[in-house]
Structure 1
Amino acid sequence: MAMLDRIAEITHHYGAYLVVDDAHGIGVVGDTGRGVIEMYDLFDPVDIITGTFSKALGNIGGYVIGSRELINFLKYQSKQHLFSTTATPAITGIIRAIELVDEEPQWKDRLWENITYLKNGLIGLGFDVGTTASAVIPVKVGEIPKTLEAGKLLLRAGVYTNPIMYPAVSRKNARIRMNVMATHTRAHLDKVLNAFADADQKVKITNA
């Protein structure tokens, strides 16, 4: 979790712009799911907010929030925007997803119950999950071949994960990454823990 209060202080001390990409925090972190910025109450000091629709909001694409002048500038000067294709009508579902963050807060509470259960279960088995503070939980493996083999074993066990490796992370910091959902049951999460324990027996992910 970024120390956003200190970052904001330093940023504005030097007259810079503060851009916060809260892809993993929106809908998950903060009292009402408005992310790390809400947690620190720093909406005014943050100049630009970026994020993705593909996590808590269950869609595709991303967003940039800023002043009217900034957004107009990006519309005409950003190549990523100019050469992107038009979104499908399905993107209107994002509006409803944002509304549901407020209307049905029980899903965020249930999500955190699942995050805590899976994270503590993995740590109890000896896995390194780093300092994750969201619904995106990594299991650090290190070596790329071992990470790919672990991902294959997990998939065979019926657990879909994402092996993350160089250049997304440093060469010796490869990992298995998972996204926890509020709709996962305790049985689902136990299946994940059992699959990781079995994979560890075969490819030795932990140091135990």
Structure 2
Amino acid sequence: MPPTDAVPTTPDVFAKVRGHERAAILAAAREADVLPYFHTLTSPALPVVQMEGARRIMLGSNNYLGLTGDERVMQGARDALEQYGTGLTGSRLLNGTIPLHLDLEREIAEWMGTEDAIIFTTGHQANVGTLGTILTVGDTVVADSGDHASILDGCLLSRAKLRPFRHNRLDKLEKALQRAQTDGGGVLVVVDGVFSMEGDIAPLPQICELAERYGARLMVDEAHGAGVLGARGAGASELYGVEDRVDLRMGTFSKSLASCGGFIAGSHEVVEYLRISSRAFLFTASAVPAAVGAALAALRVMRSPDGPPLLQQVLDNARYLRDGLEALGYAVVAPQDVGDDVTAPGVVDGTIVTPIVPVLVGDDWKAALLWKALYDGGVFVNTALHPAVPPGGALLRTSVMATHDTAVLDEALAVFASVKTAFEAEHGPLPGPGSH
């Protein structure tokens, strides 16, 4: 037996947190005060916020319809809090189901036009809990390389064979489906409806055709499409008229529905299977009542006569900001062609601009410096660096709300204009229009 005071030879499991590949750049960013993350918000998430002691225009929120400040939504949260208290202290399976859950699931299914729906405590759990349950060893999952991290997490948890394909490349999707034919199990294609960084929309009609041709099921993550696209705001699947060809649709409450949580909408048999089999659903506490009450109230606002004007306004604002940034010489994505036969809020001459308007910068360090200049000028945006984007693809992710008015957007564009002039004088040119 070794002496009790012998030095252990087992490697320290915490060793990886020291000197990792991004430690130096993080330290340098903190030293230069240009770290774009973990800044403290001290007001509601409205078009103009208070952040770290200053007024800043919020162009970094997913509050697409602006409903976090809507009195009807706040009252829905208050009513739920008063009736059910601060928490439910258990899972939906046991003591955590209240009538608000059942109403919300029923109304989501009506909104999505599906047989049933199930709500999860978070959007991340919705993806992980669905993919990790529906897929298993022997199955194949074909996923877009731009899919949200929670989709990848669910795929890895399932232990199904993962066949990724290059972002929105239909030829690569077809090759992956061809190869999956020899894998021997069931095949599921999973794509975002609207991709969270670039703001582009998946070509769902063609994806549906390929999935059907090769006998695969299709799941669409509508986290950034639900409450934004389509006449009902039901997402990219509605926009393209392919709702009946998509097997499962995921969405969240933390964007247009002004709360926190997630849902899966689909056939009754699949949803019921998730209710009794998904570990992420069965073994986590139910969402706090206020969150459920707020989401239900927001859904009802969107489905009311007040909803369509909000859908129109957020997309009008997105196009206004995109066009303004391009006119200033920034590299932004072009309006997306959705076809002349598509008629819905925000569609102009067969094109649409989603509320996510990325500005390509390229270099990680330049992106951090540009973010800081905008922040100091009174505009908050999000920063996406590698590995969230490909190497050399750093971008500033701007996003708009229906409740931004033209005066505030013009004020933000004026900051972008002055910052660009000063920034390029010191750091060299930024990518221009057409570079994205």
Match of 1:135 in 2: 355
Question: 1:43-68, CA deviations, whole angstroms, 9 ceiling, x for partnerless residues?
Answer: 11100101222221111122211223
Q: CA deviation at 1:190?
A: 1.2
Matched to 2:413, the amino acid is L
CA RMSD of aligned residues (A): 1.9
**Which is greater in Rg?**
2
The 2-side partners of 1:205 and 1:61 are apart by: 38
Q: State the match for 1:181 in structure 2.
A: 401
Q: Deviations over 1:95-120 (max 9, x none)?
A: 12112112112112222221121110
Structure 1: gaps of 5 or more residues: none
Aligned-pair identity (%): 37
Greater relative contact order (Cα < 8 A, sep 6+): 2
Within a 5 Å distance, the mapping from 1:72-111 to structure 2 comes to 72-90=272-290, 91-103=292-304, 104=306, 105-111=308-314
Q: For residues 163 and 9 of structure 1, do their structure 2 counterparts lie closer, same or farther at Cα, with a shift above 3 Å needed?
A: same
CA distance in 2, matches of 1:63, 1:111: 23
1:114 and 2:339 aligned: no
Match of 1:39 among 239, 242, 251: 239
CA distance in 1: counterparts of 2:298 and 2:430, whole angstroms: 37
**Change beyond 3 A, Cα 1:141–1:83:** farther
Q: Deviations for 1:123-145, whole angstroms, at most 9, x for unmatched residues?
A: 11121222563111111111111
What is the CA-CA distance between 1:79 and the residue it aligns to?
4.3
1:67 to 255, 267, 285: 267
Shift in CA distance, 125/29, structure 1 to aligned 2, threshold 3 Å: same
More displaced stretch, 64-73 vs 106-115: 64-73
Q: Give the SS at the match of 1:163.
A: strand
* In 1: Cα distance, 2:397 partner to 2:282 partner: 32
Match of 1:58 among 253, 258, 264: 258
Tell me, what secondary structure is at the counterpart of 1:44? helix
Corresponding residue of 2:413: 193
The whole-number CA distance in structure 1 between the counterparts of 2:399 and 2:212 is: 34
The structure whose residues are more often helix, as a share, is 1
- The equivalent residue for 1:206 is 431
One-letter code of the match for 1:65? A
Check whether the contact 1:58–1:94 (CA below 8 A) recurs between aligned residues.
yes
Preserved contact between residue 313 and residue 402 of structure 2 (Cα < 8 Å): yes
- TM-score under structure 1 normalisation? 0.90
Residues in 2 aligned to 1:206 and 1:100: alpha-carbon distance in whole angstroms:
40
Residues 158 and 113 (structure 1), Cα distance of their counterparts in 2 relative to 1, 3 Å cut: same
Contact 1:20 1:50 in 2 (8 A): yes
* Partner in structure 2 of residue 163 of structure 1: 383
Change (3 A) 1:198 1:81: farther
Equivalent position SS for 1:195: helix
